[in-house]
Structure 1
Amino acid sequence: MIDKSSLGKHISKEFNEEIEDLRERVLSMGGIVEQLLSDAVEALASGRAPDLKEVKAEDRKVNTLEVSIDESIAELIARRQPTASDLRLVLTVSRIIVDLERIGDEAKKVYKMATRLTDARGRHADAFTEAENLGLHVQKMLRGALDGFARMDPEAALRVAREDDKVDREHEEIIRLNMTYMLEDARNIKRAVDLMWAVRALERIGDHARNIGEHTIYMVTGQDVRYVDIARVEEIVRDAQ
């Protein structure tokens, strides 16, 4: 049985505050990334993409936070030399901010494709509907992954990991649909390829959300579940209850 209450609890009040500050900054970074993703999916679905400069400005905030949190982690490790659950929490934060930064980059790619696809929805309405559904799916995964980290809940993290295969299947279906459009009429190729780049970015976001869930499972259980079969991950989470 893992005592999750021991995570982030220390003799030193100052150390505890530093750990809590790290967690809060990660969640703040996650909130910006969530909004970037939400706006990107909306732009792709509606064809109304805001100025890319705004997106780049938000992405720079994400990059700045990643560097700032990384520096704080290095300083905390050097000064406090955390061990056991504290060290796992710090390592988890270090891994999660990398995935969050990459999600921001992928969301920016979706934006770029959305600006090039503003006139394509009438011709490919069903493909755009499927792309929007995929976008909503990975948004839900990201929200669940961040919630799992915030609550140190491996069950929530496991639910996110289970969704990744579904996202992969949705992505493959959209690719097949776009291949059909390209075969039907060569004039569809450019639009179809742009949409495929967008949904590829969304699929990658799903991968990163799963990573965040796996990092949370490691934080709570001490078991590194990257590259581990989902059935084994379920066992590890069950044993930790």
Structure 2
Amino acid sequence: MSDKHLSSQFDAELNSISTHVLEMGGMVEAQLHQAVYALVNMSLETAHQVIENEARINQMELQIDHEIISTIGRRQPTARDLRFLMAISRTTQNLERAGDEVARIARMVKSIIENGTPRNLPTSELRLASDLAASMLRKTLDSFARLDTTMALAIIKGDDDIDREYDGFLRKLITYMMEDPRTISPSLDLLFLAKSIERVGDHAKNIAEQIIFIVKGEDVRHVPVDKVASVIG
């Protein structure tokens, strides 16, 4: 078999793995939208659907991991291709963890509904933070598909927006709890829920860092944003 044919087969395998990563990411994004819909509309049925779909995301991670291990074993990739596969593995880990956070949101929504959270709590205000997180995840997947480092950098910078939304929501919840101690328990549920949304944004940021690692060969985890910008050039 010619080297060219082997190379084309390897490229096809890498493309297949990338496609599966995008499918997994798309499912996590859809799950996030459903979880927040369940909260805003107090839909127990939708919350159950999100919880049940968590297993599918976990299975997708296992499938991609198997494909990566199989490809490394059979192809013995060069440094650049091995870097790509390592970044893919880190990406699926972050997607799986984001999926865990979304499932956690759905479980908290289920608890909130069953415990009869007061309607005057600002549940609808979580929609903006969740929209930001979902947008970050969607842009990250787009950046991954294109290996676009400029977009990846913008995503890393955009993580601060979700952090600000979380801080603002926290201050609002503290006000509610001070004004009416009866809201303390449900407010804490909402606080943990908001934190899970913020963590989805963190995982999107982590994936964006892996995109830069693929393209530039530089590990920019735990690196200040200005230095990440200098890596991209």
State the TM-score, normalizing by the size of structure 1: 0.89
1: distance between equivalents of 2:157 and 2:5? Answer: 33
**Amino acid across the alignment from 1:168:** D
Residues in 1 aligned to 2:183 and 2:118: alpha-carbon distance in whole angstroms: 12
Instruction: Specify which of 1, 12, 30 is matched with residue 17 of structure 1.
Output: 12
Residue 139 (structure 2) pairs with residue 144 (structure 1):
yes
| Corresponding residue of 1:123 | 120
Return the alpha-carbon distance in structure 2 between the equivalents of residues 51 and 153 of structure 1: 34
Q: How does 1:189-204 map to 2 (within 5 A)?
A: 189-204=184-199
- What amino acid sits opposite 1:41 in the alignment? V
SS of alignment partner, residue 12 of structure 1: helix
CA deviation after TM superposition for structure 1 residue 132, in Å: 1.0
Change in Cα spacing, 1:180 to 1:128, as seen in structure 2 (3 Å) is: same
Within a 5 Å distance, the mapping from 1:20-31 to structure 2 comes to: 20-31=15-26
Q: Shift of residue 158 of structure 1?
A: 1.0
SS at match of 1:50: helix
Deviation string, structure 1 residues 147-181 (Cα, Å, up to 9, x no partner): 10011111111111111112111111111111111
In the aligned structure 2, how far is the partner of 1:10 from the partner of 1:41?
A: 47
Q: Given the superposition, is the C-alpha separation of residues 43 and 51 from structure 1 closer, same or farther in structure 2, using an over 3 Å criterion?
A: closer
Counterpart-to-counterpart distance in 1, 2:118 and 2:177:
15
Task: Work out the CA distance in 2 between the residues paired with 1:180 and 1:102.
Answer: 31
Give the C-alpha shift of residue 10 in structure 1. Answer: 8.9
**Structure 1 gap segments, 5+ residues each:** 1-8
* CA contact 1:157–1:213 (8 Å) conserved in 2: yes
Cα deviation for residue 58 of structure 1 reads 1.4
Distance in 2, Cα, partners of 1:42 & 1:66: 25
Question: 1:225 maps to which residue?
Answer: 220
Native 8 Å contact 1:175 1:196 kept in 2: yes
Pairing 1:84-99 to 2, within 5 Å after superposition: 84-99=79-94
TM-score, normalization by structure 2 = 0.92
State how far apart, in whole Å, the 2-side matches of 1:134 and 1:51 are: 19
Is residue 100 from structure 1 mapped to residue 95 from structure 2 by the alignment? yes
Distance 1:174 1:49 in 2: 24
Tell me, in whole angstroms, the C-alpha distance in 2 between the residues paired with 1:101 and 1:192.
27
Aligned residues: 228
Quick one: distance in 2 between partners of 1:129 and 1:34? 19
Cα 1:121–1:212 shift into 2, 3 Å? farther
Shift of 1:26: 0.5
What percent identity do the matched residue pairs reach?
38
